[in-house]
Structure formats: C-alpha cells, structure tokens
Structure 1
C-alpha cells in the first residue's frame, strides 16, 4: 500500500521529539489541553517516570493495552531502545513517530503512543477497537438474486470485502490522507494492467490538488474530482455494493473509498452505466434485456411526459383524439389555472411528499407518502384545483422516476423536468424540443474522467452495444469496455461459445 498526501502536515512546522521524557509530556499535554478523552499514563521506575503511554479512550481495546503493553512496560528496565521495545511487545502493527504533529494524528487515529525517556522517537502501537455497523444488504440497492453484502463506514472492512472477491495481487490499494483536521483515510483502488494508466494518472493528479480542512463523506471527494461540478448529472457512480465495485474494477474502472462513508466512488462512467442495475447480471439475459429497455422507456417518460401533456393541451389540441379531448375538457371545465400552473403545482406537491417520506422514520415514511398522495390528489380534484388527468400524468411520472436505479441520476431528471415543462408551457412542442436539444447538447460535452458521457454511441464502439442496448450472455462479452487506451481489453480467452456440443447417438 502506498501512503501519500502528507502535504497537510508539511504545511505546518514539524517539531521533533526531545530525548527528555518530561519535555515531551509537557508538549503533549499542551497540544491535548482540555481533551479529557486523551489519557496519559506515566510508568515510573525507581520513583521517576521512564515510560509514558498516551491513547484516546474509546478508540482502543484497553484490556489488550493492559495485557500487551502496560504489563510488559512495568517489567522493563532502562536503557531500552525503540527497536528493543518493539521486539518485546507481542503486537504485529507498530511504527515509529518522530515529531509531535504526526504523533497527534496517530493517537487520534486509534494508536497508543509509547514515549521512552532518553529517546527522541515514540513507538505507535495499533490496538484499534471501534464500534462499527455490521455488514448488511444496502437498502437502496437490493437484488432478488445476488450477494447481500454492503459496505460499512470502516475503510479497512470495505477493503477486505474487495480483497475477498479479487484475490489477485493485481488489485492495488493506495492509501492517502485528506483533511487538515480530519486526516481522513482515502483508498484509491484499481487493477494493474487493466485500468488505463492515463486515467489513473489523471485521478491521482486531481486527488493531489485537494487541500481542505475536513473530509466527512465521499461526496466531498466526488465534488473535488469530477469534470463539471455544476452539471446536474453525476459523473461518478456511488455504490454500496462490493460486487458492483469488483465488476467495475475488472472492466478497467477506478474506485475511491473514503473512511467513514459506506459509498464507493467509481469512474469513469457513462449515462448508460447509471441506468444499469446489479440485478441485470443476476438474471437471464432475455429478462435483463427486456427490463433494461423498460427502464430506458420510463427514463424518457420521467423527463418528458408532463411537458408533453402541457404542450399538447395548451397549443396542440388537434393531436388529441376527439373522445379523449372531450373527457379532458370536461374534467378541466372548473379548473382556474392553465395547464402549466396546474402541472407545476402537482409536481411540486409530489416532490414534497417524496422528500417527506424520505425524512420521516421508516415505520411511517412510506405510509405517509402513499396516503398523503392519495388524499391530497383526491382533495385537489374535489376542490377544483387540478384535473384528474393531470393527477394521473404526475402519478405515472413519479412511478417512472422510481424506475431509475441510480438515485443521483433520478435527482437530475427530477430537477430538469421543471425547466423543460416551463419551455413546453411557453412554446408548446417547440419548447419541448428546445429543452431536449439543450440537454442532449450538454450530455454530448460532458465527460467522466475524460471519457465521453454518451459512450459507446458517441465513440461509435459497436461491440459495446451488447452490454448497453441489451445484456448479452457473459460468454459473448469477450472484451472490456473501451474506457480509454487500455491494451488489456480481452477478458475471455479461448472458446467463447457456451453452446454444448451435440452428443453422438
């Protein structure tokens, strides 16, 4: 593993340890002033302290500290060097600290620091014991068939979940630290020989430019390294599933894991990869392809149906069949608002109910959102504020937005629906086409770590349509996606046809 990004500590003036234990203790007490969770134990020999142990309560296993460290220090006599102390302690994970600044980071990260009188180095012993959430299935990425494991907030656990699936030494995990105050550990994961080196170098360069006071979630890293921060479309895939990360690594993509966040970032991505679900690869190809096409259809419905209804009802009534037009006209006879205002009112109300259902406790959230939609919709129709066809259009649009598997992409469609609707209410179908053209123009210029967002269509890579338009059988997906210039693109060697040979009669 590679340790990088110590520039935050280099910006400060590093003060080396003194050979006098008393001087070191005075400085450490000054740096941890009013920090009651930091414990400083002095271990005397012949009525004067010769050793000192500093640790943060709640971050270490105190019983192991007593058994492996303190009891042995009580039986030791000076002089003793750090190398001798390290060999006598039965702890596998130890390292040296030479200055106060890095020692503070080590202590607050869960290490126990041993100071020795007469030595200008301190021995950091790792006895970390943190209360963490257990591994469970991600609530937002459930599957009928497939693994049930999801990432947790602890980086070491998340890296182990990846290592259990990819046992090859080609999977490289590079550790970095970000945040002048948080010193958050970040892991850059890639497959050596599969990931493109130019894309990997670009990610490293973007990460090296991050200088921030704190990193509390992977979203902060995402905003720092994405190509166009003001685009509503996500340019990195956030997932809680280790199997998705491993699959993307084998395709040549790069993953970023952040300590304290259960979401891994994956890039480069495309629009079509955001419309794919892990379920697609755990079902039969015909079923997966049909569901994928249904997802594409509802993606278009979620973006355009309210705008299309407003445009046709306001400017192009001749396009509506006569019987249906009479029904709509009858339902709108006592509606005081034009179709655009009616659609905006219903869409804003629906989005409010959706957010309320998310923020409420799980036991009542879904019930409140469903009952609220039914009651408010029926009450609005009875009060003559909106028409029943508009309620139906908004309901279909809401269902369509739930079909989008990626939450960030669904949020982008929900946001873009309003300006497209306004354009349709002003210019009719011309306004709808203008809105769609502007969105397509933006998508054509969008990049994810330098890769076109509409690949493989914009790059004319016909062989990748087998995992875009449909989900072809695995034995037909011979090559990895052409994400950049990687030369190792073949992932199936030899015989690629899975059809069994005919047996002799």
Structure 2
C-alpha cells in the first residue's frame, strides 16, 4: 500500500466512513498524486470543480496559481488540523509526497433571509432580524456601525461539536472590568456538546437558579447596536439567531425599540404602562385571593355584597379557583404555540371563550375570578421580553399561595423576599436592580421616562456610564 492510499484510509477512518465525506485521489504536477477531501453536504461542488479546473490549467506554469484563487497554504499535514478544516466546510488538497496541505474555502452556506423576528415586532423602525449565519449577522451590524472600534472575537464551544461563537464590543466604550469578566467566563466554559443558546446563557449567568434572566435575548440588529454603544457585550453563534447581551438590569427588559421610534411622551407613557403591568401580572390574583379570604372589609359595601353573591356558590377556596383558571390559561397558551400558527390562533380564541363560559356555567369558578385571571394574562404579555414574561407568569403562583395562607401580610412577606432577591442579583457582577439599588439620582428618572435626543447621545438605564464619555448615549431599547 503506497503513501497516498495509506493516508486516504486514515482519513476515511477518522471520519467514520460518513456517506457525505468525499475523499479521492487526483493527479498533481510532475506525475505526483494528491488527495482531495471534503464534506459534500458543506461544499458547493460546482464551484469546487470550477476552481479545480483553474488549478489544473496552471499546474504546468511557474506562476503560483493560488495567488489568483481563494486557496491558502497550511502547515505540514496533521490529521487533527485536517479534521478541523474539513468540519468547518473547507476543501483540502493534501500532497503526501511533500506533506503540503492546501485549503479551499468553497462553503455551501444555507441560511434564510433576515426577516423581522416573530416575537419582537415593532410598528416603526427597522424590520430586519438576525439569522443563523454569523456572516449575515455581522454584515447587518457593520452596516449600522461604520467604525473600526467595533471588535469581533471568536471562540469555540463544545469539546466535541467545536461550534463557532463570537463576542462583540466597541473598544472605546466598554469598561475594562466588563470585558475582563466576560472573557473570564468564556474561558471557563467546559461542555462537550453545544446545541442551544440556552447552554451559553447558563454558563455566563451569575445565578442560574434565579427566575429572572440576567442576559437580554434579542434577534433585532438595531437593538444589538443600541446596547453595543452602551458599553455592553453581545454574543452570537452560528446555530441561532438569538444574540445575548450583558450586563443588563431588570429595567432593560421593559424597554422596546418602539420607545425610540415615536414621540417622547408616547414612549414614556408606554414604558410606565409596562412597568405597571408587572405589578398587575404578579400581584392581581394574590390581592383578589387575600381580599376574598381575609379582607372583605376593604371593599365598599355595595361591591362586597355583589362579590359575596358571586362567590357564595363556589364549592372551594379562592386559591383552588385561581389555580384552575391559571393552569387552563397555561395549557391554552402552550397548545397555541405548539400548533401551526393558523390553528393555534383559533385554539387560543375559541378554546378560551368556550372553556371560560362552560367553567363559569358549571359553577366551578366565579365570574370575577375569570376577569382577574384574564387581566393578569393580558398584563403579563405586555412585557417586550419573552424570558421575563415567563418569569412573571411563574412568580404569581407563590404569591397566590402566600395570600391564601396569610392575606395581605403574606403578600408583604413575598414582596420583601422578591426585593431582597432582586437587590442581591447581578449581571456580570453588575447590580441587577440599578439605578434603584444602588440608588443613582441622576439616572432614576430614565427608568420611567424616555428623554429626548437633543444631541447625538443616548441615555442610560444601566449601572455605570460607558468608558468614553464622548460616545455615551442613554437608555437603550
């Protein structure tokens, strides 16, 4: 067995005889042979053939043919290096006699159009969205930031999958401690297989067990840029359109790109509405349960009589009543998400109406409880962040239990525990509940108000100002 055949067999063995792995012997210059190997599923075969024809046409000339092509000369052949380049979608030409290895980048990339994300619609502004291609995503970002200070650095995740990921920041803006912390956490990532952006979130978050997300997820390039100019770090991968942004605060999740595409007063009004929706979504069922169970006297006399007439025929406690409706709401929501879009919308509307009417007619829940749960559901969907929306829906259950056991006192206990948790929480070691704790008088109003852009700067709701004051902007969407 000659050297070429021996190397071909070792390559086939290394790639486990995969059907889409192609390895073949080709003629090279001066009677020597070379090995051509690539994944047919990753390489554009037509373009590869055109390039090889060009190479063959110049083999007998003295001019280096790779100076006019996209071929690069690698180091002497090594099997691990060959595997890495082939898995990245490159085509390798290996010359066993000399040990030379040449690489052709002719990747057959499959990606979709940068359409607007389904879960981040806006009325005005950009309607582009990130996709599962890093090259496309970087182009969308570079189109918005024409500045060499935008730094893009790559790293690999997964010992076995070797998935490419990138972190981005603006050099003149990011604070040194923020950059050092994210690089430290990236270096500490130790997983074998990477297949979901959620794994990256778990590796980078300060508290995995907290119900509150400490990284902001977005698929909007304009939102990514707005956070980059705030001195934050953005992480993107080649397998998901989701970008992860850090560090963030609790109030970052209540800002929307629409706040900055409309009038100042309108944006400020809806920001306040969103913050109020958090109170309604978490505490409204608990307040209802506490009033019905312990504190009927807080209601006006006429209203209390109507409420008593409505709840007297219900055979069990208000907590059970609320749990039944909340679980039904979650089932309807989950089914509408999993089903095809056209069917899912029908299930959500018809199922809610039919089940709601039937359950009231059967005397299992009161009309007032249906109203409370419906208002709670609507309030939870006001939040622009899907991650925080899920956290809010989960938080209302312990408050309902506390209200059922201790009334208003139980709600107060829950609020104290919640505030302690939010104050102790951090994102990349930056305070999560800033600018309230630690209190920043100059920044606190920006939690509720979207200030006007009188000059080319933005306003900040984050914990600290960017490193370079000349590029400091303000609160970001």
Aligned position for 2:406: 427
Aligned position for 2:233: 254
Aligned position for 1:203: 182
Distance (whole Å) between structure 1 residues aligned to residue 13 and residue 276 of structure 2: 64
Distance (whole Å) between structure 1 residues aligned to residue 461 and residue 377 of structure 2: 33
Distance (whole Å) between structure 2 residues aligned to residue 272 and residue 251 of structure 1: 15
- 2:243 corresponds to 1:264: yes
**How far off is 1:491 after superposition?**
2.9
CA RMSD of aligned residues (A): 2.3
**How far off is 1:332 after superposition?**
1.7
Which of the residues 187, 206, 215 maps onto 1:227? Answer: 206
SS in structure 1 at match of 2:217 = strand
Of 40-49 and 216-225, the range deviating more from structure 2: 40-49
Q: 1:366 to 1:96 in 2, by over 3 A?
A: farther
Cα deviation code 1:66-89 (max 9, x no counterpart)? 0112552476269x9xx94633x5
Q: 1:325 to 1:483 in 2, by over 3 A?
A: closer
Aligned position for 1:26: 9
SS in structure 2 at match of 1:372 = helix
**How far off is 1:367 after superposition?**
1.4
TM-score normalized with structure 1 length: 0.89
Distance (whole Å) between structure 2 residues aligned to residue 274 and residue 183 of structure 1: 31
Which of the residues 295, 304, 309 maps onto 2:288? Answer: 309
- 2:471 corresponds to 1:488: no
Distance (whole Å) between structure 2 residues aligned to residue 480 and residue 398 of structure 1: 30
SS in structure 2 at match of 1:252 = coil
Aligned position for 1:35: 18
Distance (whole Å) between structure 2 residues aligned to residue 41 and residue 379 of structure 1: 69
**How far off is 1:51 after superposition?**
1.4
Of 211-220 and 390-399, the range deviating more from structure 2: 211-220
**How far off is 1:42 after superposition?**
1.2
Aligned position for 2:154: 175
Distance (whole Å) between structure 2 residues aligned to residue 390 and residue 118 of structure 1: 81
TM-score normalized with structure 2 length: 0.94
Ranges in structure 1 where 5+ consecutive residues have no aligned partner:
1-18, 497-505
Aligned position for 2:321: 342
Aligned position for 1:245: 224
Distance (whole Å) between structure 2 residues aligned to residue 401 and residue 415 of structure 1: 10
Distance (whole Å) between structure 1 residues aligned to residue 111 and residue 458 of structure 2: 40
Question: How many positions carry a matched residue from both structures?
Answer: 472
Ranges in structure 2 where 5+ consecutive residues have no aligned partner:
none
**How far off is 1:121 after superposition?**
3.3
Q: 1:282 to 1:93 in 2, by over 3 A?
A: farther
Q: Is the 8 A contact 1:480 1:491 kept in 2?
A: no
Q: 1:336 to 1:482 in 2, by over 3 A?
A: closer
Distance (whole Å) between structure 1 residues aligned to residue 142 and residue 28 of structure 2: 46
SS in structure 1 at match of 2:164 = strand
Q: Is the 8 A contact 2:66 2:72 kept in 1?
A: no
- 2:90 corresponds to 1:111: yes
**How far off is 1:102 after superposition?**
2.4
Q: 1:182 to 1:393 in 2, by over 3 A?
A: same
Q: Is the 8 A contact 1:190 1:249 kept in 2?
A: yes
Q: How does 1:273-284 map to 2 (within 5 A)?
A: 273-284=252-263
**How far off is 1:97 after superposition?**
6.7
Distance (whole Å) between structure 2 residues aligned to residue 462 and residue 195 of structure 1: 23
Q: How does 1:65-464 map to 2 (within 5 A)?
A: 65-73=48-56, 76=59, 84=64, 86-87=66-67, 90-91=69-70, 95-96=74-75, 98-464=77-443
Q: Is the 8 A contact 2:181 2:428 kept in 1?
A: yes
Q: 1:473 to 1:489 in 2, by over 3 A?
A: same
